[in-house]
Every structure is written in C-alpha cells, then in structure tokens.
Amino acid sequence: MEVFARRPEITTSADDALKRVAATLEAELKDVEARIAKQASVFDPAIEGYVAYAMGSRGKRLRPLVALLSGGATGPITSAHSDLAVIVELIHVATLVHDDIIDEAERRRAQPTVNARWGNSLSVLLGDCLFAHALNLATSFENVEITRGIARAAREVCSGEIIQTQRRFDLHLGIADYLRIIGMKTGSLFAVAAEFGAALSEADPGTIAVFREFGMKFGTAYQVYDDCLDLAGDERTTGKTLGTDLRKGKLTLPILMLLGAAPAAERERLSDLILEGRTEEIGELLTNSSRGNALHASIDAGQRMIRDAQMSLDSVPATSHLESLVELGGALTAMLDQLR
C-alpha cells in the first residue's frame, strides 16, 4: 500500500508505463543502446553481422533499465553503470539464442530467430560468443566482486535452465520448485543488475542487499509474466511463437496452479492431457475450470511478487530514479493485467 502512495498516477496501459520509465533515462538508455550496437564490432568481421542481428532485435531492455535505475537511485549514473547494463543484456541475449534452439522457436520480437535463420550450429556458437564476450566485459570492473558476482549469476542462469529442462513433463514439480527454478534462470540476472547498480554507486551493504532483493523478486515476477504470456498472449502482438512451454513439457505457474487446485481424479486426467500434448484442451481449462481461473491466480501471484519487490525498496530514500524503479514494477503489473 505504501508503495502505491509513491506513484502519483495509477498505470492504465503497460506500454505507456514502460515508456514513462524509459523517458526518465533517455540519454542513458541511448548511450547503452549505442554501446550495445558497438559490441558487434569487437568481434571478427565474419561474426559481426550475427552479433548485430541477435543484439539488435530490440527487446524491452528491462535488465539495463534495472541496472541504470538502481545505480541512479543510489548515486549519479556513471559509465560503469552503462557497462553493467550492456553486460546483463548480453548475457540475456546469449541465453535467448540458446533457448530458441531448445524450444525450436521460429520467431522472436517479430523477427526470425537466429536458429531459424542460420541453423542450430551457428546459434550454439553465437550464444557462446555473446556469453564469453559478456564475461570479458565483466572483467573490466575495478571491483573484482562485481566480476565474480556476474560470473556466478551467469552460472545460476544456466543451472536454472538445466533443471527446468530436466524436469519437463515432471508432474511432481511443485510450485516451490518452479519458483526456485525461475529465480535461478531469470531472477538472478535481474538481481545482479540491481545489486551491482547500487554497488557501483558505492551504496552501503544494507542498501545493496535491498536492491538485490528487489531485482530477484522483480525478475522472478517478470518470468511469471513471460510464462503467462506464453499461454495467454497473442502471437501477432508479442512477435514470438507461443504455447511452446506446454508443448515442450515446461510446466509453468498457471499449469501448476491448475494441477494444484484439482482433486486427485481430475489431476490424473489433466496429467494425461499434458503428457498427450493436448495443449488446446488444457488452455481451455486454464481459464474455465470449475476449480477457478488458474491463469488469473497466476497473474495475481505475479502481481503480489511485484508489490513485494516494490516494498523491499521502502527503506531507500525517495529520488526520481527510485520512483522510476517502483514505476517499472507498475508497468509489469499492467503487463500482467493485459493477460487477464
């Protein structure tokens, strides 16, 4: 509740809210974008084009936003913050390139994926290149703890992805397991963006820990959003192949909530539908089960996480960048609302 008091207007549209946040950082984001564009040229000319393609298909740049705003909320935004923003985005894009191979996804951000365009072999190697380059850049920080933390987060991300892959079609997966997995695979990168955003501003250890907590919770909520989107989104507006998770046996929050609410007999029937890949019927049940609306319940859970994330910032002195970080939570809340 206290959190909403900070925001003068209630978000009506997700896009507007995101734009409003981005507008408070126009120059800084432009600088990050220019740096991202420049990364391609670090590679051999033979590789440059692929790197530019993978990095260029503009996403929402949420991780850079979190890095910059966390830095700005604790001091002046410096060139080191831009470096951090570039690094987290590079790691993110590297994982996307590899995820798209695994998911056999054909479109991302309304463009053909790297694997759809140049095949799996090149995608495996391009992901490796982006990843290696990100860790290269991470070695440039004076504070070696930041380098270490980024390398650790990169390992967490990969480990989370493996556990997720391993537990496909595992109908014993619980919601706690799910949250742990998405915390590793998505939360940990947001966590370092926020944590080291504050650390680069030389915030005190308590404040740094608060930002880390915000990043972890916000990132986890973002993954809940992304998972709901895969089940409830519109392929034309999202620009990516949807319904992939369930087809591939990735049991995300709405499915786990549907399973969790069902009594034993119904649970068995649902499990059969999942194992037989009857995704359309499951999609129906997500919003239309007699046991409640599992999609809405998941959206609620995501929005609660965002409020939690925002509340963890309560102890931080209010500044305009802090407001923006809270408002970023508002934007994600609105994005989740759009899936209802």
Contacts with a second copy by CB under 8 A lie at 43-44, 46-47, 50, 95, 98, 101-102, 120-122, 124-129, 131-133, 135-136, 138-140, 144, 147-148, 151-152, 154-155, 157-159, 161-163, 165-166
Smaller CB separation from a second copy, 77 or 130: 130
CB atoms within 10 A of CB 317: 8
Cα 22 to Cα 16: distance, rounded to the nearest angstrom: 10
Smaller CB separation from a second copy, 97 or 229: 97
Cα 340 to Cα 337: distance, rounded to the nearest angstrom: 6
Task: Tell the smallest beta-carbon distance from residue 40 to a second copy (Å).
Answer: 12
Task: Tell the smallest beta-carbon distance from residue 87 to a second copy (Å).
Answer: 12
Q: Please return the burial class of 5, using the count of CB atoms within 10 Å of its CB with bins 0-12, 13-18 and 19+.
A: exposed
Task: Tell the smallest beta-carbon distance from residue 190 to a second copy (Å).
Answer: 17
Smaller CB separation from a second copy, 81 or 133: 133
Q: Do 338 and 14 meet the contact criterion of CB atoms below 8 Å apart?
A: yes
Smaller CB separation from a second copy, 1 or 144: 144
Task: Tell the smallest beta-carbon distance from residue 251 to a second copy (Å).
Answer: 15
Task: Tell the smallest beta-carbon distance from residue 243 to a second copy (Å).
Answer: 18
Smaller CB separation from a second copy, 81 or 250: 250
Which of helix, strand or coil describes residue 60?
coil
Task: Tell the smallest beta-carbon distance from residue 263 to a second copy (Å).
Answer: 30
Q: How many residues does the chain have?
A: 340
Smaller CB separation from a second copy, 177 or 300: 177
- State the distance between the two ends of the chain, measured CA to CA, in whole angstroms: 22
Six-digit token pair at 129?
């290149």
Residue 251's nearest CA partner among 184, 163, 164 is 164
Cα 145 to Cα 138: distance, rounded to the nearest angstrom: 10
The residue assigned the tokens 């490796």 is 128
Cα 286 to Cα 88: distance, rounded to the nearest angstrom: 34
